[in-house]
Structure 1
């Protein structure tokens, strides 16, 4: 009987220890999740919530925003938040040029807004011709952001073929501008069609309405977190982005 009591006491202590361990583990997981969660604050003038832990905010535009009054974009200051950079659609496929690119490119520079140009990649067209088209339309200068490949469609191409095609575009553009291009895509598309072999390139990741950081297991440089923002001087919704770093890191990214 004494042995049974000792066994019962031992099992009871063991159960208590396991329960305490599980409880502590749950608390740790909850604290880790809370620490990982990005804090957002609502900015009425922008019409959206912004992740407040990032200090450098920007937008991206194309012909859908039509003619932009860049002086009003530059002047907008909402509780210390300004539009500090803007990506602009330059080209698409082998021969299309965004009708507002030249205007946006020129006016953003005039207002001293850091500018970047992107190419919308069409998987069914020749990647070399697409790269040459982008190069012929975009003259990057000191202080500009690196060129961007907008890769969000694979069509019916097998993954290995698609990867080979975008690799051709990236390599040709890098050789021309002497800087590694940025890849723009969604978190899910990157996982499915790109993966670790493209981790050497800076990533501009699209993941809307996510209350944490983008769900992607690699370092990202820009995060497109919302597509319904408002900006003075633009009569349409605008995509909002943040840069993952401080002003010194941002300056290091720009063309020298």
Structure 2
């Protein structure tokens, strides 16, 4: 019988090792994607906060009235501080949030990474709504990409909704040179936007149960509470986390 040459069996062994590594990697991803994050109650913020995330933020509109942005920036409870803010800018064809200009200016002066969002009215022209946003919002280096907030159909068909949403997103991407973020809840995304808009960064709302968003696609931001408290803001405020580390967050910002 001929002797086997040295290394003749290394191929199958190498393949087995690769398969084991792939399996381990998949199991680690599956555990992270399906396991519930740890929550800890923070008295200062008035809510339970998921501790598995490094970067925490809020979103605001006229309903938070006049905000003391220096106090927002300075607030810290143990290892949690406000690391970004989304600010409502516009709605529909011609409306601008009453506090947008003030919030936009003072959040920047306080040193908070900021993003602006538009509340979408589905029966209206997506392209014209985009022009409303563009007229009001000048994005600068260090800002977050623009955000489309779409969470109601107002009775329009799925095909009409998708067409107008796409027109809005295309116009913003052409103007700002960056892919916009989509904000919505899990159910709305799965019913009306799934597949066609999976390439856009997703900011997803899911705060009725203490688990991470139950959605098959990846997501960038998670709005998990609408009852938080922050120094410098009257009343309750929405809380969010970023799904990544500081390097991932910097990569998302406008250059």
What is the TM-score of this pair, normalised by structure 1? Answer: 0.86
Secondary structure of the structure 1 residue equivalent to 2:88 = strand
Which residue is 1:156 aligned to? 155
**Residue 16 of structure 1 aligns with which residue?**
none
The answer on 1:170 being equivalent to 2:180 is no
Q: What is the correspondence of 1:25-64 to structure 2 with a 5 Å cutoff?
A: 36-64=35-63
Aligned in 2, Cα 1:184/1:33: closer, same or farther, shift over 3 Å?
Answer: closer
1:133-173 Cα offsets, whole Å, 9 max, x none, are: 10000000000000000000111111111101100000000
1:196 aligns with 2:195: yes
For structure 1, the 5+ residue unaligned runs are 1-27
Per the TM alignment, residue 34 of structure 1 is displaced from its structure 2 partner at its CA by 11
For residue 33 of structure 1, report the CA deviation from its aligned partner: 9.4
Residue deviations 1:199-248 (CA, integer Å, cap 9, x gap)? 00000000013322101110000000000000000001000000000000
Which residue of the partner structure matches residue 9 of structure 2?
none
Q: Which residue matches 2:90?
A: 91
**How far apart, CA to CA, are the structure 2 residues paired with 1:184 and 1:32?**
25
Matched with 2:103 is 104
* Residue 237 of structure 1 pairs with residue 236 of structure 2: yes
- What is the CA–CA distance in structure 2 between the aligned matches of 1:94 and 1:73, rounded to whole Å? 31
RMSD: 1.6
The alignment partner of 1:248 has SS state of helix
Question: C-alpha separation between the residues in 2 aligned to 1:42 and 1:209?
Answer: 16
Distance 1:97 1:165, change over 3 A: same
SS of equivalent residue, structure 2 residue 196: helix
Equivalent position SS for 1:118: strand
State the Cα deviation string for residues 67-103 of structure 1 (Å, max 9, x = none).
0000100110100211010000000000000010000
CA distance in 1, matches of 2:31, 2:222: 21
Q: Distance in 2 between matches of 1:99 and 1:224?
A: 23
SS at match of 1:122: coil
Matches within 5 A, 1:110-125: 110-125=109-124
What secondary structure, in the 3-state scheme, does the structure 2 residue paired with 1:198 have?
coil
Where do 5+ consecutive residues of structure 2 fail to align? 1-26
Q: Which residue of 1 aligns with 2:16?
A: none
Alignment match, 1:250: 249
What's the counterpart of residue 185 of structure 1?
Answer: 184
- Deviation of residue 32 (structure 1)? 5.4
Q: Distance in 2 between matches of 1:93 and 1:236?
A: 26
